[in-house]
Amino acid sequence: MQTQHLISVLDFCTYHHIEITFVETLADNGLIDITTVEQATYVQPEQLGRLEKFVRLHQDLAIHAENMDVVNDLLDRVESLQHELRQVRNRLIFYESGQR
**Single-letter code of the amino acid located at 84:** E
pLDDT number for residue 98: 76
CATH number at residue 60: 1.10.1660.10
Asked if the structure places residue 57 within a domain, the reply is yes
pLDDT above 60 for 1 = no
Letter string b/e over residues 10-30, b meaning 16 or more CB atoms within 10 A of that residue's CB: eebbeeeebeeebbbbbbeee
Asked if the structure places residue 1 within a domain, the reply is no
* Banded pLDDT at 100 (limits 50, 70, 90): low
Asked if the structure places residue 32 within a domain, the reply is yes
Asked if the structure places residue 2 within a domain, the reply is no
pLDDT number for residue 13: 97
pLDDT number for residue 3: 64
Q: How many independent structural domains does the chain possess?
A: 1
Identify the CA nearest to 55 among candidates 26, 78, 75.
Answer: 26
Domain of residue 75 covers 7-98
Asked if the structure places residue 74 within a domain, the reply is yes
Asked if the structure places residue 21 within a domain, the reply is yes
pLDDT number for residue 6: 94
pLDDT digits (tens, 9 = 90+) for 55-94: 999 999 999 999 999 999 999 999 999 999 999 999 999 9
pLDDT digits (tens, 9 = 90+) for 15-59: 999 999 999 999 999 999 999 999 999 999 999 999 999 999 999
pLDDT number for residue 4: 76
